[in-house]
Amino acid sequence: MGSPIVRLIRSRLVRMTAFILCVAIGIGVVRSVYTLSKKKGIVAERQQVLAELTAKNEELHQQLEEATSPAFIEQAARDKLGLVREGETVVIMDKSQITNLNDQERSQELPSWKQWWSLFF
């Protein structure tokens, strides 16, 4: 009939083994492609997080430069510590005078007739 090699190739066992081997290789390839696509998504997400953190880091560096500038230090010393330069005069106002100024501003917002009314009554 034929040579033993031809009979071996035609045998069902060999065909079935080759089919199972091809299916196993196909499943492995599909699994690898799926894993790779998931990892690409993770990499893209991490790159976005990296970009956000890089921008935040740059913003913090700018704030640090501003905070160490002489103008900022002087302004902070004036505002928070109440310090002044030599030769400057400190003016301290009474709080009641400040509230009176606010009342005057509010009264200027009122119509004239209400201002007259509040003056006499």
Question: Which pLDDT tens digit goes with each residue over 16-59?
Answer: 888 999 999 999 999 999 999 889 889 999 999 999 999 999 99
- What's the confidence (pLDDT) of residue 3? 72
Lowest average pLDDT, out of 20-24, 83-87, 96-100, goes to 96-100
Q: Does 103 have pLDDT greater than 60? A: no
Contacts of 49 (CB under 8 A, 6+ apart): none
For 7-118, list the strands marked E by DSSP.
Answer: none
Q: Tokens 């196993």 appear where?
A: 24
SS3 83: coil
- What's the confidence (pLDDT) of residue 98? 62
* pTM assigned to the model: 0.44
User: What size, in residues, is the chain?
Assistant: 121
